[in-house]
Amino acid sequence: MSDHPAQIRIQPLGQDGILIRFGDDRSTDPLTALARADQMRSATISGVREIASSLASVQVRFAPDVATRAEVTARLTALLAEPLPVATLQTRIWTVPACFDGPQLTEAATLADLPPADAIAQITATPLSVLAIGFAPGQPYLGFLPTNWGMERQATITPQVPAGAIVVALCQVVLFANPSPTGWRWVGSCAFRPFVMNRAEPFALRPGDRIRFAATDATTIAALQTAPDGLGGAVCEGSA
């Protein structure tokens, strides 16, 4: 995990925002923005009200009546000149049972230049990071798969995939939190629900968490759907 000061761009964003870019989505280490966001939070910069990371950037919102844009930018510039923290993130590792029998598995495997069985093996062998959470409450964008999975989105929209659908595009995986339309290819399903409102922790995942899918069968996934906590047999190891 690394960045280089020459590649970092600090730009104004609206009346009370600053955007820090670390490169583009495909060339930037997925944990760079997460680690830098944690570094900024730890620094407690005067006037800063919100810090949110995405795949390759961090958005900072500040209170103009407390600090000027120039003051916040100067503090961020100095902070980003410091070495990237090595152990900022508290990594958790999730193992999520999944059945790879999605209706578009064969199509996605062909685009990845693999037989379906090898495509499943490659997905399950790849440690994925939670790059960002969004689109729906708790819904994770996971990455990155090897470069042969750099397929574009579909030309048409699939009207609906169910909660728990595992879809792929752009070397990323999305695990759907709710039934939804999508332009990504549906390759599998799981019983894991990243968001359950009445759960002790409604949002199961955090940016920076690692996920590995464990291949199983449809009967097992159907049985795991009844898990009262909505975790669907997923096991989490690491820092709480």
Q: At residue 215, what are phi and psi to the nearest 5 degrees?
A: -70, 135
Q: 82 with 201: CB under 8 angstroms?
A: no
Instruction: Note the maximum CA span of the chain.
Output: 59
Which of 48, 80, 112 is the endpoint of a domain?
A: 80
Which of 26, 56, 80 is the endpoint of a domain?
A: 80
* 87 part of a folded domain: no
pLDDT given for residue 27 in this prediction: 56
pLDDT given for residue 86 in this prediction: 58
* 226 part of a folded domain: yes
Number of domains in the chain: 2
pLDDT given for residue 151 in this prediction: 96
* 138 part of a folded domain: yes
Same-domain pairing of 45 and 152: no
* 85 part of a folded domain: no
Same-domain pairing of 66 and 128: no
Same-domain pairing of 113 and 22: no
Q: Identify the CATH number of the domain in which residue 158 sits.
A: 2.40.100.10
* Residue 71: CB atoms within 10 Å: 14
Same-domain pairing of 74 and 98: no
pLDDT given for residue 239 in this prediction: 62
Same-domain pairing of 150 and 45: no
Same-domain pairing of 101 and 176: yes
* 174 part of a folded domain: yes
pLDDT given for residue 132 in this prediction: 84
* 172 part of a folded domain: yes
pLDDT given for residue 213 in this prediction: 98
* 86 part of a folded domain: no
What gap in Å lies between CA 163 and CA 233, rounded to an integer?
15
pLDDT given for residue 28 in this prediction: 59
* 26 part of a folded domain: yes
Same-domain pairing of 66 and 141: no
Per-position pLDDT tens, the chain of length 240: 556 555 789 999 999 999 999 876 555 566 788 888 888 988 989 999 999 888 788 999 999 999 999 999 999 999 999 887 655 556 799 999 999 999 999 999 999 999 999 999 999 999 998 988 888 999 999 989 999 999 999 999 999 999 999 999 999 999 999 999 999 999 999 999 999 999 999 999 988 899 999 999 999 999 999 988 999 999 999 865
Which of 80, 113, 143 is the endpoint of a domain?
A: 80
Same-domain pairing of 124 and 68: no
Same-domain pairing of 116 and 219: yes
Same-domain pairing of 101 and 172: yes
Q: Identify the CATH number of the domain in which residue 17 sits.
A: 3.30.1360.40
For residue 63, what are the domain limits?
5-80
pLDDT given for residue 5 in this prediction: 55
Same-domain pairing of 64 and 106: no
Same-domain pairing of 160 and 98: yes
